[in-house]
Structure 1
Amino acid sequence: MTNKEIVLKAMNELFHEKDSEAIARYWHEDYKQHNPGMTDGHEGLKNLLPALDANFKWQPGIIVEQGDIVITHSLVNGWGPVPVIVADIFRLQGGKIAEHWDVVQEEVPASKSASGHAMTSF
């Protein structure tokens, strides 16, 4: 499985299927989280699941893989009160997600953007 495939499976199984066992399968035991609102390790991910909106949806568009780095540009619903656009950066080690960074901004519909373009690639 490629690093991109690992990330896609991990995110789907944890956040869409709500399978907390996916954490042990896909996240490194020394997982480092760089989002300032989240903690390191498996426990931080386990604690996140019950706090998510029941209709949480992570919809990746552009995905880039280079070596041990995978970057996804996604539309996320249910992270907060409004849809957000997220650029997630994952570093994998030994076939598991070892580190994560993200950049999050509220979605602006194409009809309200200066260019008239959507913020997503789909």
Structure 2
Amino acid sequence: MIMRGWLHIFSIAAGIAAPVAITLWSTSDFGVRSRAHYAAVEQQSAERSMSARDVVMAFDTLAFGERKPREAVLRYVAAEAVDHHQDIRGDRQSMIEMLERKDWSGTSPRRTIRHVVAEGDLVVVHHHLVRQPGTPGIAAVDMFRVKDGRIVEHWDVLQPIAANSPNRAGPF
């Protein structure tokens, strides 16, 4: 009879302790639903609700402003993305390789965005790119197609800026 009482008390305590322990474990920094997990899910949800323009500008800021091209591609470019740049294979990995070949140690390359046009899922960025300090640089247009918060397609058009152009207006 005494044994049955203790078994009863033990069962009640286990019935209370088990859900508490599971909840603490699953919402800790180590469990399956950790703070990091919830933060990642929240970030993905926020990125999916971003406008196409916001996605491209966030990519630009991380890749070029913060000089983290690999992280930018992995975060904002879809795994199945197509890049139409003629010097690379055109997949996401070749985009990473091309961007990582750039010298990110100093102030080059320097980009100045002149215009951003967004319509629906397309975003066009017109910018001045200077790869070598002291040179006129390149007038560049990058076009992006965005789907579900990720860049899925990219095109670029590059025009070297003439040092002695007769055009008073210039490329910008």
Q: Which residue of structure 1 lines up, in the alignment, with residue 146 of structure 2?
A: 92
Helix, strand or coil at the partner of 1:113: coil
Pairing 1:62-77 to 2, within 5 Å after superposition: 62-77=115-130
In 1: Cα distance, 2:97 partner to 2:64 partner: 12
Q: Which residue of structure 2 lines up, in the alignment, with residue 117 of structure 1?
A: 169
Structure 1 stretches of 4+ moved >6 Å? none
What is the RMSD computed on CA atoms of the aligned residues? 1.9
Percent identical across equivalent pairs? 24
Point out the structure with the larger helix share: 2
Q: Please say if residues 83 and 92 of structure 2, whose CA atoms lie closer than 8 Å, have aligned partners that are also in contact.
A: no
Greater Cα offset, 37-46 or 26-35 = 37-46
In 1: Cα distance, 2:136 partner to 2:98 partner: 18
In 2: Cα distance, 1:115 partner to 1:78 partner: 23
Helix, strand or coil at the partner of 2:169: coil
Q: Please say if residues 92 and 98 of structure 1, whose CA atoms lie closer than 8 Å, have aligned partners that are also in contact.
A: yes
5+ residue gaps, structure 2, are 1-49
Greater Cα radius of gyration, structure 1 or 2: 2
5+ residue gaps, structure 1, are none
Q: Which residue of structure 1 lines up, in the alignment, with residue 85 of structure 2?
A: 35
In 2: Cα distance, 1:17 partner to 1:48 partner: 17
Q: CA shift at 1:107, angstroms?
A: 1.3
Helix, strand or coil at the partner of 1:21: helix
Deviations 1:49-69 (A, max 9, x none): 331133112221111111100
Q: Please say if residues 78 and 150 of structure 2, whose CA atoms lie closer than 8 Å, have aligned partners that are also in contact.
A: yes
Point out the structure with the larger strand share: 1
What TM-score do the two structures reach when normalised by structure 2?
0.61
Q: Please say if residues 88 and 103 of structure 1, whose CA atoms lie closer than 8 Å, have aligned partners that are also in contact.
A: yes
